[in-house]
Amino acid sequence: MKKFSRIWLRKWGAFPLWGLLILLLSAYPSTGASGIELFTATQIFLWVTLASNWNLIGGMTGYLDFGHGVFFGIGAYTMGILVTNTSLAFAPNLSFWQALPWTGLIAVIFALLIGWATLRLKGPYFSIAMLSTFAATRELIRILRPVTGGGSGLDLPPVLNRVGDYYFMLVLMAIVVSLIGWIRRSKLGLSLVAIREDEIGAEMRGINTTFHKLFAFAVAAFFTGICGAFWAWQNTYIDPDVVFLQNRNILMIMMCMLGGLGTVWGPVIGALILYLLQDSLWSNLADYHLLSLGILLILIILFIPYGILGTLKNNKISLLDLLSRRGFDTPHR
Amino acid sequence: MKSWLITPLLLASLALTTACNQQSAENPDSSTKTIKIGAAVSDTGKYAREGKDTRQGYELWEDWINSQGGIEVGDRNYQVEIVYYDDESSPDTTAKLVEKLITEDQVDFLLAPYSSGLTKSASAIAEKYDKVMVSGGASGDSLFTRGFQNLFSVYTPASYFTQSILKALSEKGAKTVVIAYEDTLFPTNVAEGTQKWAKDYGMEVLAVETYPRDTADLSAITSKFKSLNPDIFVGGGHFNDALLFVRSAKEQDFNPKAMVLTVGASNPKFVQEMGEDSEYIFGPTQWESSMQHQGNYFGTAEEYAEKYQAKWGEPPTYQAAGASAAALALQMAIDEADSLETEAVREAMKELNEVTFFGKINFDETGKNIDKPMGTIQIVDGKIRVVAPEEIALIKLNYPMPGWKQRNESVSSSSN
């Protein structure tokens, strides 16, 4: 019994803590937090959710998706087209909640179509294929002017509700991180990790790799689409350039790498740290903002390739090892 | 009494007296109050250049009004303080900063960022918190169709950009127009307006073409237009597109009788880059220091330009002048309302009807500045000269422009 509870604690122990944190956070708006505080918190939740989604396909399954922002864009544009009241060819003028399920659904359909083709590719070929998908979709949105408004973009109804936004993203983040935590510990998650470590071996052992990869891709796309839809609503204006931002792809990846690829809590910690860093420190560096982003990325890869959590979990790696960049081949999980 | 007790006692009494002093300093009667105005403008990112001009325009006004003793509201003079942040040319950062300006810095009014796209994100937040926002750097027509009460812009709207030149050219006998524009917000509005004005002035639009952002080659469009042999060619885009249009027109010997290029032509760098090929090109402009505007506050456009030059060591662009004019409009509305309440100032903004160094400022119900005509310049002998509308023109416009080949001949013959 004692042994069982210890195993249970090790496997699920973090979840009650996560629940408690969400509960505490849900009380935050009633402490009289100001608009900017709620807004900042909402953006952190958004990034935690985005990074966690990327981690599912990039970290756990090992398919480094350099164009994951495409699902963000699909979600944003689906929301934009469905809720905006314009004279364009297709403008059903739905409400936010009516449009929301469609944003995720269309992102999933898009993911299945794209994934069916791209997930057969391995390594850098997949990354490049996704990067091209990202750029191609942006141009497609520009060309489909009668529906998307082309380069002039779409004006969403300017309804802003910071408290509502806060709770929406809090709940979405709670769901996504819990779901990914569960997937990681389930047979499904083990299969994904098996695919990452040795895809052919996994297939030999009877894992349906195509199904598993597509499933992970679709789940990640669904929630990323919802995030995009939320962003479009919050920003009240979308055009191809603000929605399909290359920077967003890179940030998602950096947050995962900083926190720890393939871990459940890594993207949470990575997103939190990187957002706050960017917010406070980098706003003072002005022109060197992107430069410092690049240098940080290089430093992460050089010195903590397994991220904060991946490094902490591995007791065998000492600080000296990290600084001398030894111990890379030590199994870290 | 032990001696070491004295030190903390002394410190405590010192703290107490400072506290009392502070209290008296905060007494409203004995201090000058300030009006806090928030501005998120781009120091970095793709609008860094225009953002810098915008900020310098705001700062010039800030210094000037404070040197004049501030703004009088009720029977008290208020100094002005503008709180600036760098929006990084990003809508995410703009939204965050406007939210911060309103809820944390608790500003009384807002000045808008540069560009229509960023102003869209920012104005939705100003509307939510019911703060007046004045823009000196956004002309997209669709900014004013969202039903916002609090957004005002001193720019002539984009759809009016080509009005004065099309009118002038139609009077010179031009009959046909072709249009090419970049597929983004502002050029689209310009192109839509151009089609409307062409019809209004009895001209025929022969073709309308679009091209994507950051394009590197426009020769396909100019070669198509060449076969149509139009009187007027209107190119709507940004600085780089203007260079491309002129280069490919010359290469392909495309000879419209007039070339109107929206953004590039009015920039002095355009003449530097293109040299003689920039001759005869028309360009719409929000403002030039040679325009014959005169107002009560900064004097004439020329005098404004002198003040600007003295402070910043460079001549003002129209973005800088627009920024100063936006702040000036806010100041006049506060003066008129004699209040700092949003509602009173907003109503005063709508009532405003003044001539300034920037031209007339008269907002309609939606916040557009409807009475300021868009100027047009032509490059003549390497100089940017205002040619339309007639009221503010310095010289008569040159029409038609000679063909590329004729020009080379005349140059070679003159050198002989």
**Distance between CA atoms of B83 and B280, rounded to whole angstroms?**
43
Given a contact cutoff of 8 angstroms between Cβ atoms, the answer to whether B321 and B287 are in contact is: yes
Per-residue pLDDT of chain A (333 residues; tens, 9 = 90+): 567 777 777 777 788 889 999 999 999 999 988 899 999 999 999 999 999 999 999 999 999 999 999 999 999 999 999 999 877 778 788 999 999 999 999 999 999 999 998 988 888 899 999 999 999 999 999 888 888 988 888 999 988 899 999 999 999 999 999 999 999 989 999 999 999 999 999 999 999 999 999 999 999 999 999 999 999 999 999 999 899 988 899 889 989 989 988 899 999 999 999 898 887 765 666 567 667 777 877 888 788 888 888 878 776 666 666 666 655 544 444
Q: Which residues, in sequence order, are CB contacts of A243 under 8 Å at separation 6+?
A: A72, A73, A76, A77, A138, A141, A228, A231, A232
Which of B156, B163, B171 lies closest to B397 in space, CA to CA?
B171
Q: How many CB pairs under 8 A join A and B?
A: 80
**CB atoms closer than 10 angstroms to residue B390:** 12
Q: Does B95 touch chain A (CB under 8 A)?
A: yes
- End-to-end CA distance of chain A: give it in Å, rounded: 26
My answer on whether B168 and B85 are in the same domain is no
**Pairing status of strand B359-361 against strand B354-356:** antiparallel
Contact B92 A43 (CB under 8 A): yes
Residue A96: count other Cβ atoms within 10 Å of its Cβ: 19
Closest Cα partner for B378 from B391, B394, B402? B394
Contact at CB, B117 and A239, closer than 8 angstroms: yes
In this structure, are B279 and B300 located in the same domain?
A: no
CA distance B184 to chain A (A): 4
Domains held by chain B: number: 2
Smallest Cβ distance to B44: which of A139, A155, A286? A286
* Rounded distance between C-alpha atoms, residue B327 and residue B199, angstroms: 36
Contacts of B43 in chain A (CB under 8 A): 286
CA distance A140 to A113: 16
- Verify that B257 and B306 share a domain, yes or no: no
Residue contact A289–B88, C-beta within 8 A: yes
Kindly give, in sequence order, each residue whose CB lies less than 8 Å from that of residue B226, ignoring residues fewer than 6 positions away: B252, B253, B254, B255
Return the ∠ at Cα B336 (arms to B335 and B342), rounded to 5°: 85
**Cross-chain Cβ contact A34/B103 below 8 Å:** yes
Q: Running DSSP on this structure, what letter comes out for residue A57?
A: I
Chain position carrying tokens 């510990």? A185
Distance CA B95, CA A165 (A): 14
Interface test with B, best of A44, A72, A237 (most B CBs within 10 A): A237
CATH number at residue B251: 3.40.50.2300
Q: Measured between alpha carbons, how far is residue B8 from residues B17, B285, B414 in Å?
A: 14, 68, 92
**Within this chain, do residues B379 and B239 fall inside the same structural domain, yes or no?**
yes
Contact yes or no for B120 and A237 at CB 8 A? yes
pLDDT of A330 reads 44
| Cα–Cα distance for residue pair B327/B331, rounded to 1 Å | 6
What is the ipTM for the molecules in this complex? 0.86
B149 and B202 in a single domain? The answer is no
Chain B contacts of A142, Cβ < 8 Å? 183, 212
Q: Do A235 and B91 touch (CB under 8 A)?
A: yes
* Shared-domain flag, residues B386 and B267: yes
> Element (H or E) spanning B336, and its range?
helix B318-337
Per DSSP, helices labelled H in chain A are 2-12, 14-26, 35-55, 69-83, 96-118, 124-143, 145-148, 162-185, 187-197, 199-204, 209-235, 240-243, 246-259, 266-280, 289-303, 307-313, 319-323
- One domain for residues B276 and B390: yes
Q: Do B96 and A139 touch (CB under 8 A)?
A: no
Do B278 and B395 sit in the same domain of this protein? yes
Cβ density class B363-388: b for 16+ within 10 Å, e for less: beebbbbeebbbbbbbbbeeebbbbb
- Does B142 contact chain A (CB < 8 Å)? yes
Chain A positions touching B188 (Cβ under 8 A) are 150-152
Q: In 3D, which of B69, B49, B56, B42 has the Cα closest to residue B310?
A: B56
Q: How far apart are the first and last CA of chain B?
A: 107
Give A56-59's long-range contacts (Cβ < 8 A, gap of 24+): A56/A180, A56/A183, A56/A192, A56/A216, A56/A219, A56/A220, A57/A216, A57/A217, A57/A220, A58/A253, A58/A256, A58/A261, A59/A256, A59/A261, A59/A262, A59/A263, A59/A266, A59/A267
Q: Are B124 and A160 an interchain contact pair (Cβ–Cβ within 8 Å)?
A: yes
Give the tokens for residue A283: 């706003």
Q: Are the beta carbons of A236 and B120 separated by less than 8 Å?
A: yes
Interface test mutation site (partner A, options B49, B118, B125, max chain A beta carbons within 10 A): B125
Whether omega for the bond prior to residue B400 falls within 30 degrees of 0, making it cis, is yes
Spatial distance between the Cα atoms of B96 and A47, rounded to a whole number of angstroms: 15
- Burial label for A54, CB within 10 Å (0-12, 13-18, 19+), is buried
The set of residues, in sequence order, having a beta carbon less than 8 Å from that of A307 and lying 6+ positions away, is A256, A257, A258, A259, A260, A261, A263, A266, A270, A300
In a domain, B253, yes or no: yes
The pLDDT score that the predictor gives to residue B339 is 93
Residues of chain A contacting B, Cβ within 8 Å: 34-36, 39-40, 43, 139, 142, 145, 150-153, 155, 158, 160, 162, 234-237, 239, 241-242, 283, 286-287, 289
Choose the mutation target among B142, B148, B192, B366 for the interface with A, i.e. most A CBs under 10 Å: B142
Closest CA to A228 of A115, A55, A104: A104
What is the model's pLDDT at position A97?
95
Give the whole-angstrom CA distance, residue B349 versus residue B329: 8
Please check whether residue B121 lies inside any domain of the structure.
yes
d(CA A56, CA A266): 12
Q: Please check whether residues B328 and B307 belong to one and the same domain.
A: yes
Q: Which of B372, B324, B358, B337 is nearest to B135 (CA)?
A: B324
In this prediction, residue B28 carries a pLDDT of 44
Do residues B125 and B264 both lie within one domain?
no
> B96–A151: do the CB atoms touch at under 8 Å?
no
Report if residue B353 sits inside a domain: yes
Distance CA A270, CA A55 (A): 11
Q: How close A290 gets to chain B, by Cα (Å)?
A: 10
Both structure tokens of B251: 């290469």
Number of Cβ within 10 Å of residue B161's Cβ equals 31
Domain carrying residue B240:
160-285+374-415
What are A69-104's pLDDT values in tens digits?
A: 999 999 999 999 999 987 777 878 899 999 999 999
Q: Is the bond preceding B389 in cis, omega lying within 30 degrees of 0?
A: yes
| pLDDT at res. B10 | 43
Selecting from A142, A234, A236 the residue whose C-beta is nearest the C-beta of B212 gives: A142
Cα within 13 Å of Cα(A32), Cβ side: 0
Residues B336 and B244 in one domain: no
Among the partner residues B44, B129, B146, nearest to A155 by beta-carbon distance: B146
Helix spans in A27-65 (H): 35-55
Handedness of CA B402, B404, B409, B412 (dihedral sign): positive
Strand order in the sheet with B282-285: B204-211, B176-182, B232-236, B258-261, B282-285, B375-380, B383-388
Q: Are residues B223 and B178 in the same domain?
A: yes
Given CB atoms, is B215 within the 8 Å cutoff of chain A? no
* Pair of tokens at residue B160: 């009016």
- For A151, the closest of B127, B148, B183 (CB atoms) is B183
- Alpha carbons A288 and A145: distance in angstroms, whole number: 36
State the DSSP string of B305-330.
HHHHHHHHSSPPPHHHHHHHHHHHHH
Cβ distance B124 to A40 less than 8 Å, yes or no, reads: no
Dihedral (Cα; A26, A29, A30, A32), 10-degree rounding: 150
The residue count of chain B comes to 416
Q: How far apart are CA A9 and CA A5, in angstroms?
A: 6
pLDDT tens, per residue, chain B with 416 residues: 344 444 444 444 444 444 444 443 444 443 568 999 999 998 887 788 889 999 999 999 999 999 999 999 988 999 999 999 988 888 889 999 999 999 999 999 999 999 888 999 999 999 999 999 999 988 888 899 999 999 999 999 999 999 999 999 999 999 999 999 988 888 889 999 999 999 999 999 999 998 887 788 899 999 999 999 999 999 988 888 899 999 999 999 999 999 999 888 888 888 988 999 999 999 999 999 888 888 888 889 999 999 999 999 988 988 999 999 999 999 999 999 999 999 999 999 999 999 999 999 999 999 999 888 889 999 999 888 999 888 888 889 998 999 988 886 655 444 33
Residue A156: closest C-alpha in chain B: B146
Are A52 and A180 in contact by the 8 Å Cβ rule? The answer is: yes
Whole-angstrom Cα distance, residue B155 to residue B327? 13
Q: Does any domain span residue B5?
A: no
Q: Is residue B102 part of a domain?
A: yes
Beta bridge partners of B82: B37
Q: Could you give the CA distance from residue B222 to residue B247 in angstroms, rounded to a whole number? A: 10
- Round to whole Å and give the CA distance between B183 and A142: 8
Question: What token pair was written down for B350?
Answer: 């709508």
